[in-house]
């Protein structure tokens, strides 16, 4: 078996939309911890994960850290009480959508299974694209 | 139907597997039940049972009753406050903790001035195990929930739960055989449950507390979560 196919079969991608609440990052860390003991490689696609890492590091304490890779595109949605204009929010939303699509285009050959976690309705374009590429899709 | 509902339904239809933390289908989101090709109730998270553990007996704890979580209308804070008011009117005067932030923080603080209560607006997560270990009874009268992290963490610390019959909470309470599930989300139901628990002997409360802890060890330890999730790899081959 070619090694790239072997790697893809043993890799799972977790897609999580970067919603503002810290709780979401904590839940993502919890899920990644469990999955990192089942799959040899876990790639997390989200925004602002690295920035939140110091706050959720305890949630990753029991993870198999060497199995986790993070594709972080440094954007997240603004919280509802953030005084940002509607136009700025719209642009950030578009940037996040574009980041997901770019990430999928770049890395889809590295995994066979994609798990969609938080903010599923916002990630439908990526999900459809992955489905067309024949990936196995799991929803949380 | 708005665009996000439409997107969600489309995503569910396209997925090979939908995993969920709601074990009992009776409490599952109807959209998932209707559209999922394969529904796998395996998605209970894990809890770090070494960090979240029982450090004190129920009798040693400072707060008789706690409400911990977002202070928002859908969390049932109004119903909780009304139930506590009745308890006070009947002379119980429990020491109450309200912990969390949200749009109803002012209501919680006004309440603080009238009764024996403590309000904490922000608690760092690393201090939560100590906080849970100061609470005897936790009330979660939410109108909508999945499996709330606060409930799982509190049970791990031996807190006695009183919860509404929504989402994943009924399964937890039945399986743990600990605490009380409210038949209806009504302040009198909360009052009745709290009055019942406040009248139990300390050793009876301690027994419930230990059952809470045991349940978490049995279902939420990381090795249990890994075993549950392992099914995914097998069915997706």
The tens digit of pLDDT for each residue in B62-98 reads 999 999 998 888 999 999 999 999 999 999 999 999 9
Pairing of strands A11-15, A113-116: parallel
At CB < 8 Å, which residues of chain A contact B? 23, 26-27, 30-31, 33-35, 37-39, 55, 58, 61-62, 113, 116, 120-124, 127-128, 131, 136-140
- How far apart CA A132 and CA A114 sit, in angstroms, is 13
Give this complex's ipTM: 0.88
Q: Do B226 and A38 touch (CB under 8 A)?
A: yes
pLDDT tens-digit readout, A86-124: 888 888 899 999 999 999 999 999 999 999 999 999 999
Q: How would DSSP label each residue in B114-160?
A: HTTEEEES---GGGHHHHHTTEEEEEE--SS-SS-HHHHHHHHTTPE
Query: Domain coordinates of chain B in residue numbers?
Result: 3-44+221-235, 58-219
Residues in chain A: 140
pLDDT tens-digit readout, B118-157: 989 888 888 999 999 999 999 999 998 888 999 999 999 9
pLDDT tens-digit readout, B154-212: 999 999 999 999 988 999 999 999 999 998 888 999 999 999 999 999 999 999 999 99
Q: CATH number of A3-139: 3.40.50.2000, 3.40.50.300, 3.40.50.620, 3.90.1150.10?
A: 3.40.50.2000
Residue A1 pLDDT grade (very low, low, confident, very high; cuts 50, 70, 90): very low
Q: Do A62 and B46 touch (CB under 8 A)?
A: yes
HEC readout, B171-228: HHHHHHCCCEEECCCCHHHHHHHHHHHHCCCHHHHHHHHHHHHHHHHHHCCHHHHHHH
- How far apart CA B98 and CA B105 sit, in angstroms, is 9
Query: Domain coordinates of chain A in residue numbers?
Result: 3-139
Q: How would DSSP label each residue in B60-111?
A: G-SEEEEEES--SGGGTHHHHHHHHHHHHHTT----EEEE--STTHHHHHHH
Nearest residue, CB atoms, B16 vs list A34, A120, A138: A138
> CATH topology for B58-219?
Rossmann fold (3.40.50)
**In which residue are the tokens 């929803």 written?**
A139
Task: Please check the confidence at residue A2 and state whether its pLDDT lies above 60.
Answer: no
Q: What's residue A3's pLDDT?
A: 59
pTM of the model: 0.87
- How far apart CA B74 and CA B227 sit, in angstroms, is 34
Minimal Cα–Cα distance from B145 to chain A, Å? 14
């Amino acid at each position: 078996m070619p090694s790239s196919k072997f790697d893809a079969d043993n890799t799972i991608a977790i897609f999580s939309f970067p919603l503002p609440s810290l709780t979401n990052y904590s839940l993502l860390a919890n899920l990644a911890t469990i999955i990192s003991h089942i799959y040899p490689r876990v790639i997390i696609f989200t925004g602002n994960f690295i920035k939140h890492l110091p706050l959720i590091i305890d949630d990753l304490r029991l993870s198999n850290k060497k199995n986790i890779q993070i594709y972080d595109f440094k954007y997240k949605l603004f919280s509802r009480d953030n005084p940002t204009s509607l136009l700025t929010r719209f642009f950030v939303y578009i940037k996040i959508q574009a980041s997901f699509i770019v990430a999928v285009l770049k890395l889809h050959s590295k995994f066979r299974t994609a798990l969609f976690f938080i903010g599923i309705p916002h990630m439908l374009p990526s999900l459809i694209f992955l489905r067309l590429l024949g990936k196995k899709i799991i929803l949380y | 139907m708005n665009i996000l509902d439409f997107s969600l339904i489309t995503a569910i239809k396209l997925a090979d597997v939908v995993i969920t933390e709601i074990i009992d289908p009776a409490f599952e989101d109807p959209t998932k039940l209707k559209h999922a090709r394969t529904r796998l109730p395996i998605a209970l998270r894990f809890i770090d049972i070494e960090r979240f553990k029982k450090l004190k007996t129920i009798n040693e704890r400072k707060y008789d009753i706690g409400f911990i979580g977002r202070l928002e209308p859908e969390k049932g804070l109004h119903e909780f406050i009304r139930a506590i008011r009745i308890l006070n009117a009947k002379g119980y005067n429990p020491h109450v903790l309200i912990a969390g932030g949200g749009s109803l923080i002012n209501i919680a603080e006004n309440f603080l001035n009238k009764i024996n209560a403590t309000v904490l607006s922000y608690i760092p997560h690393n201090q939560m195990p100590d906080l849970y270990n100061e609470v005897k009874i936790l009330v979660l009268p939410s109108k909508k929930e999945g499996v709330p992290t606060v409930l799982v963490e509190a049970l791990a610390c031996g807190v006695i739960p009183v919860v509404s019959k929504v989402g994943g909470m009924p399964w937890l309470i039945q399986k743990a055989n600990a605490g009380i599930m409210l038949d209806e989300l009504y302040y009198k139901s909360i009052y009745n449950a709290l009055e019942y628990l406040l009248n139990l002997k300390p050793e009876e409360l301690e027994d419930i507390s230990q059952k809470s802890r045991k349940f978490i060890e049995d279902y939420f330890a990381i090795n249990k979560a890994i075993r549950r999730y392992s099914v995914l790899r097998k069915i997706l081959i």
